Amino acid sequence: MYNWFRRWAASGHLQAVFEDLTDNPVFGPIRRILIDSTIIRAHAHAAGPRRKAQKIGQERSATAQGLGRSRGGFSTKVVVTASDENTALAVKVIPGQASDVPRLEPMLDKTLDRVPAIDELDADKGFDGDKQRHACTARGVFANIPNKKNRVHPWAFDPVGYRERNRVERLIGKMKQFRRVATRYEKLKPIFLGPIHLVLGFIKVKSKVNQKVNTT
């Protein structure tokens, strides 16, 4: 069973299932995307990818597999974009100590591949950077990010719309209720992404079931 799951994760089958389940997100008057990241502790067993990793085209370095050391110790970081507290749109795994700032542009592009038109992207100060804001502007997206205190020329910021960002935090909270995601045991990044995609797909299905139950 484990070998099947490993093959499905490495081949992208579980990602395809996740994308099917979270397709066609529902937006309000503003097509708003939310982004956030979370640190996940990595078990000691996650260290040291074996030589088999090279057979499936994976580098053996910890950095390449999204593992590193942050203040909390051996860890990995998961970056998520979402449209609400039940609908994730893109996921990326990076080392625990890695900065959020360089991830905004590639995550925005991954999300735009699934949602062609986005009006606004809400993010916390960890994603604030001139290059990142210009990247959003170039794509026709308003970067609704709080300005850092040391900014000489602050960018436009909508505090009312920014309140919606708590929804992606709630999604991450739901995701970390699952033991397989709350602690990383997998050595390889694609294999760790497997349960993440599975859990995020399950969260979406569960929300749809609950919605139907509440309307009957």
With cut-offs at 50, 70 and 90, classify the pLDDT of residue 119.
very high
Residue 216 lies in a domain: no
Residues 6 or more apart in contact with residue 213 via CB below 8 angstroms: none
CATH number for the domain spanning 193: value is 3.30.420.10
Is residue 187 within 8 A of residue 47, CB to CB? The reply is yes
Identify the domain containing residue 83 by its residue range: 24-200
Query: What are the CA-CA distances from residue 69 to residues 41, 98, 121 (Å)?
Result: 10, 9, 29
**Total domain count, the chain:** 1
Residue 209 lies in a domain: no
> Which secondary-structure segment (H or E) carries 77?
strand 73-84
Q: Which pLDDT score, from 0 to 100, does residue 9 have?
A: 82
Point out the least confidently predicted range of 31-35, 52-56, 103-107, 157-161: 52-56
Residue 10 lies in a domain: no
Is residue 198 within 8 A of residue 18, CB to CB? The reply is yes
23 φ, ψ (degrees, to nearest 5): -75, 155
Residue 161 lies in a domain: yes
- pLDDT tens figures, 24-82: 999 999 999 999 999 999 999 898 766 555 454 456 688 899 999 988 899 999 999 99
Residue 9 lies in a domain: no
- pLDDT tens figures, 175-185: 999 999 999 99
Residue 15 lies in a domain: no
With cut-offs at 50, 70 and 90, classify the pLDDT of residue 189.
very high
Residue 179 lies in a domain: yes
Residue 212 lies in a domain: no
Mean pLDDT of 146-151: 91
CA distance 146 to 158: 8
Q: Which pLDDT score, from 0 to 100, does residue 211 have?
A: 85
Q: What is the DSSP string of 28-73?
A: -SS-EEEEEEEEEEE-GGGSS--THHHHTT---STTTTT-EEETTE
Helices (H), ranges, the chain: 2-11, 13-21, 52-55, 104-114, 130-138, 159-162, 166-175, 179-182, 189-215
